[in-house]
Amino acid sequence: MKDLLVRRCLAWAGEHGMRADEAMLAAALDARHRSRDGRLACWDARQVRRFLLEWIPRHLAAERDVLATAPESLLTLLRYLAASGLRDPRGASPAELEAAVAEAEAEYPAALADPTRQGIGKFWAQTALDNGIVLDDERAVARFQRDVDAGRVRFDDDLLDKLLEAEFAGTGPDDERAFPQSPVALPPAAELAAEAARSEVVRQLTALTGWVGTDGRPLTKTGNPRLADARELAALLDTGERDLRVRSSAEMPRVSLLLAWAKKAGLVRVRTGRLVPVAKAGPVLRDPETLWRRAFEAVFELGAAICAPTFEGSGSSMLATAFDELLPDVLNAMYGLPAPIPVARLQETVWLACQEYFLLDPDEDGFRQDVWRRQVERDLLTVFDTLSSLGVVEASHGVPDELYSSDLRPGVLGEFGELTEDDLPLPPEARARLLPRLAEPGPLVRLTPLGTRAVRERLLADGRDAPLLGELADAEAGELLGVLAQHYTRETAAAELDGWLAAHEGDVEPLLDAVRACPFRTRASAMLSTLVEALPDGRETRARLRRDPALGPVVLTALLETGELRPEDLTADEHSLLLAEGLILLLELGGPEAVVEQLRESAGRGAPELVAEVLDSGHPARAALEELRVLVYEPMLARNARLRLMPSPAPGSRGRPSGRGRKRRH
């Protein structure tokens, strides 16, 4: 697909008087492929800056004049994606992207010149180039490596040490592909705002800040409220701790948590031994939804307060220590699930993560591991209780859906066949503990709409793909179908398409026109298939399009695949169109080499004539036919001309004597 996009983009650029470097176009697509979401056609300002100011300085070693073409090449690629209907509408608009490229271009020379931005691979590749090594020459590169090992190559030791330190510290951009999320639905914004205002924690944080007052409250030498003040606050916040027999307010876990929460949310702070309000927090306190968001983001820094030790001196739990890393994983695991998830399932996965995080010895004493595991399980229950009070999760009790146990037994039929032991997500001992718990009632949790929105916003901030039903209602028809075909399930695609049609007076024709205009046959086929599956009368609509001048080949292919047509039902012209469609699809998916190999196997010496028939078939994809002519047909003719075998002349011809009329020896 990358080669096809680069090839088409270069051709388009030539037709429109734009410039682009082939290597830079390929690099831009590589950068998007090797990213959190991997969406080649989804670009925003962050992705523009990542490519120009991070990816190229870190990964690409090339001559300066080649690197200098990057901003212009990227701009050409972005314009081509928009012009060809490939742009993902969830990215920035074309105008926003133009501005982003211009802004990043101003910083680009300095980024290229900064040696600390390069990765280890780039460092050595650039060092080789500086020493006159051609990177495509394997022998020269091997010789260079030997010279480095022998100390015959000079390089910057200090810079290499800094780069190695940064590499091990993980300070570079996170290019690891993340698991794609299913589309979710959310209530209207007004309902979410009202739900935020009803949050118990929002009420408590507002009351706590009011209780602090403009003059503040005194703190003890240990930084805690005086016990009398803490009892007063417990009554105000209804934490149930007013009458606890304690020696210090630090022994009132809920009050301590809310105080820590208010500090992390930027509502109060400590100044000269007093707890005082933050002056800039006034607008936040008057807006419950903004306060809710602030409180949610603060949760990830509250591990020690939420997972407080069971008794004094027992130390922090594993979950508290790794809280900021494990809690996002827990919430991401809950995101978009169709049924409440059993807490027991999450407890096992969190315990497994803790074992990896702390590198526990598998031969560690079993009793100690059991104590640690039970502490993690208790702490996770406390976490869900806290999140429930904020309104992030909804807790319930019951028998878990079998969805959460169906992947824990080998031999069960999964999405890709029977599950083997290696396919199962948990080790045997964890499954042995978990399966009985999943067969009986237990605590269940699911994200609330508020929680779903908040987690989705974090996913998007992390560069991940998190579709939202309804977000494509204003998208162009071609961009809509492209996204649905690539990223949505059949059910969610139908729901999104219903919303789009409702916003466009139910008119299907623009969608069909978008398929007709699509320059890529693989994409056009997927778009039409998505449309057919999503429309109630989709199959009837497709059948009527059999003789559509633009859609005919795609429709014929689909009708044959579904058995609605048989090969003997096709006319001679339809056979030619199908032959052309097949070769074009193969050219898009496998490149010219795959087409030539297929033709050699199927047509032998008649391959040029077969391609000539395809070129004369009247297939509507003119750009694809031109590629077939230039990349396959003309080279095939040239090759045949060079290797043509001359026919043997008949006996007696001028080319070869027959033996008759031979001179006799006297």
- Residue-range domain boundaries for the chain: 2-169, 189-299, 318-461, 477-569, 572-642
Does the pLDDT of residue 140 top 60, yes or no? yes
User: Tell me, what's the pLDDT at 254?
Assistant: 95
> Checking phi first, is residue 618 left (phi over 0); if not, alpha (psi -120 to 50) or beta?
left
The overall pTM is greater than 0.75:
yes
**Average of per-residue pLDDT across 498-505:** 95
Average pLDDT over residues 261-280: 96
* pLDDT greater at residue 246 or residue 419: 246
468 three-class SS: strand
- 558 CB-contact burial (10 Å; exposed 0-12 / middle 13-18 / buried 19+): buried
User: Model confidence at 171, in pLDDT bands (50, 70, 90)?
Assistant: low
Look at residues 346, 388, 357, 351 and name the one whose alpha carbon lies nearest to residue 370.
Answer: 351
510-530: average pLDDT: 95
Listed in sequence order, the residues at least 6 apart from 466 whose beta carbon sits closer than 8 Å to its beta carbon are: 181, 184, 335, 456, 459, 460
Residues 148-162, mean pLDDT to the nearest whole number: 85
Q: What is the pLDDT of residue 416?
A: 52
Average pLDDT over residues 528-542: 94
pLDDT recorded at residue 168? 76
H helix intervals, 338-401: 343-357, 366-390
Q: Among residues 492, 390, 468, which one has the least CA distance to residue 184?
A: 468
Cα–Cα distance, 515 to 550 (Å, whole number): 9
* Tens digits of residue pLDDT in 21-77: 999 999 999 999 999 999 999 999 999 999 999 999 998 888 888 899 999 999 999
Predicted local distance difference test score (pLDDT) of residue 364? 65
Cα separation, 206 vs 195, in Å, equals: 16
- Residue 508 above 60 pLDDT? yes
End-to-end distance of the chain based on CA atoms, in angstroms?
76
Check residue 129 and give its pLDDT.
Answer: 84
**How far is residue 69's CA from residue 20's CA, in Å, rounded to a whole number?**
7
Instruction: Indicate whether 663 pLDDT > 70.
Output: no
Q: Is the pLDDT of residue 414 over 70?
A: no
Q: So what's the pLDDT on residue 666?
A: 38
pLDDT band at 173 (very low <50, low <70, confident <90, very high): low
* Residue 408: band (very low, low, confident or very high) from pLDDT cuts 50, 70, 90: confident
d(CA 574, CA 619): 10
Question: Of 638 and 345, which is predicted with more confidence?
Answer: 345
The predicted model gives 82-92 an average pLDDT of 95
- Higher-confidence residue of 117 and 194: namely 194
Distance CA 379, CA 343 (A): 12
* Whether residue 358 has pLDDT greater than 70: yes
Contact call for residues 254 and 198 (beta carbons, < 8 A): no
The predicted model gives 241-254 an average pLDDT of 92
Residue 365 pLDDT > 70, yes or no? no
The pLDDT of residue 415 is above 70? no
What tokens appear for 150 in the block? 């022998």
pLDDT level of residue 665 (50, 70, 90 thresholds): very low
Looking at per-residue pLDDT, the higher value among 314 and 562 belongs to: 562
pLDDT(79) > 50? yes
% of residues, the chain, pLDDT over 90: 74
Average pLDDT of the chain is 90
Confidence of residue 124 (pLDDT cuts 50, 70, 90): confident
Identify the residue with better confidence: 61 or 488.
488
| Mean pLDDT, residues 128-151 taken together | 87
- Reply yes or no on whether the pLDDT at 148 is more than 50: yes
| CA 478, 480, 484, 490 torsion-angle sign | negative
pLDDT of residue 298: 98
pLDDT more than 70, % of the chain = 92
650 has a pLDDT exceeding 60 = no
| Contacting residues for 496 by C-beta, under 8 A, at least 6 apart | 183, 469, 470, 472, 480, 484, 488
